[in-house]
């Protein structure tokens, strides 16, 4: 049996400009252009109307403050980052584990899922003080707060993914008498992977938000030193440029987390999933 020459599709090479596919450049350049334009307008407005820097500092002043205070700010950034990533890791591991458990038995899912929803809809600001009082170690208290916020998207997405297996493939596994474990490892988990990674991408940003919110609550008690605490501190001392500098760091961190998780998603799915494919032609 041989393959006819016209049966195999020919791969199409995408046109590349400076190492990136031609279509990617506008997606990078246009937002940068808008950003530069807004910053320019901001700088001009602050200078033209002589706005005092304790009301609205100019972008150049914020940048200078960021460089000047990098020493203390970077220490705080590192603390916040550690909490964020620890919370994200715990959320990913527990979310995946619980989703697998849900997939094994409808009864477990029926009994536990409502509580996961309750955890999700409870405002973190409202329960953070309690957690901080209950848990001795402030880092663990912050981690729990960030975890509560980050946990749900991973759980619900992965549960959905584990249940979205192609019926025929499931039949095929049955036909060859696959064990439950084989079906889980070879079929359900790989099928759930895109869903899990999608959840992880949402949770990355949420873990950062959860960590910052918890730091705010803890910071009002003077018990933390993350980026949120720097913002609080600068606010009390009316060091508005420093406040903005910390805010800029938080934004950049959030964007970096989002982009790097997107990269992870792309690298893991590029061979097979529709989401990681570039349409050509």
Q: Which residues bind other proteins (CB under 8 A)?
A: 1-4, 7-9, 11, 166, 168-169, 171-178, 182, 186-187, 190-191, 193, 271-273, 277
Nearer to other proteins, 117 or 277 (CB): 277
Q: What are phi and psi of 50, to 5 degrees?
A: 50, 50
Alpha carbon separation from 189 to 17, 150, 164 (Å, rounded): 37, 21, 10
d(CA 21, CA 24): 6
Least distance to other proteins from the beta carbon of 190, Å?
5
Directed axis angle between helix 227-236 and helix 70-104, to 10°?
A: 140
Nearer to other proteins, 140 or 186 (CB): 186
d(CA 35, CA 14): 29
Residues 6+ apart with CB under 8 A from 232: 216, 219, 220
Least distance to other proteins from the beta carbon of 162, Å?
14
d(CA 13, CA 35): 32
Nearer to other proteins, 82 or 273 (CB): 273
Nearer to other proteins, 148 or 162 (CB): 162
Least distance to other proteins from the beta carbon of 3, Å?
4
Least distance to other proteins from the beta carbon of 256, Å?
28
d(CA 242, CA 68): 10
Least distance to other proteins from the beta carbon of 2, Å?
5
Q: Which two tokens stand for residue 256?
A: 């970096």
Nearer to other proteins, 4 or 238 (CB): 4
């Amino acid at each position: 049996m041989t393959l006819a020459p016209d049966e195999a599709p020919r791969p199409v090479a995408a046109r590349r400009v400076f190492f990136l596919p031609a279509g990617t450049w506008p997606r990078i350049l246009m937002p940068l252009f808008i950003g530069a334009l807004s910053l320019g307008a901001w700088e001009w407005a602050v200078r033209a109307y002589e706005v005092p820097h304790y009301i609205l500092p100019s972008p150049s002043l914020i940048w200078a403050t960021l460089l000047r205070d990098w020493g203390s700010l970077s220490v705080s950034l590192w603390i916040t980052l550690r909490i964020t990533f620890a919370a994200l890791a715990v959320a990913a591991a527990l979310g995946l584990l619980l989703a697998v458990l849900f997939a094994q038995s409808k009864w477990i899912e029926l009994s536990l899922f409502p509580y996961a929803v309750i955890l999700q809809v409870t405002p973190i600001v409202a329960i953070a003080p309690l957690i901080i009082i209950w848990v001795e170690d402030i880092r663990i208290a912050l981690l729990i707060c960030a975890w509560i916020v980050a946990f749900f998207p991973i759980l619900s997405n992965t549960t959905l993914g584990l249940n979205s297996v192609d019926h025929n493939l499931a039949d095929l596994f049955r036909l060859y008498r696959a064990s439950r474990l084989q079906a889980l490892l070879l079929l359900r988990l790989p099928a759930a992977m895109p869903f899990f990674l999608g959840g992880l991408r949402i949770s990355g940003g949420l873990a950062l938000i959860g960590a910052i919110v918890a730091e705010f609550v803890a910071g009002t008690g003077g018990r933390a030193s993350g980026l949120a605490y720097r913002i609080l501190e600068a606010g009390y001392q009316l060091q508005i440029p420093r406040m903005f500098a910390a805010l800029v760091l938080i934004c950049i961190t959030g964007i970096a987390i989002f982009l790097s998780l997107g990269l992870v998603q792309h690298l893991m799915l590029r061979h097979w999933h529709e989401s990681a494919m570039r349409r050509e032609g």
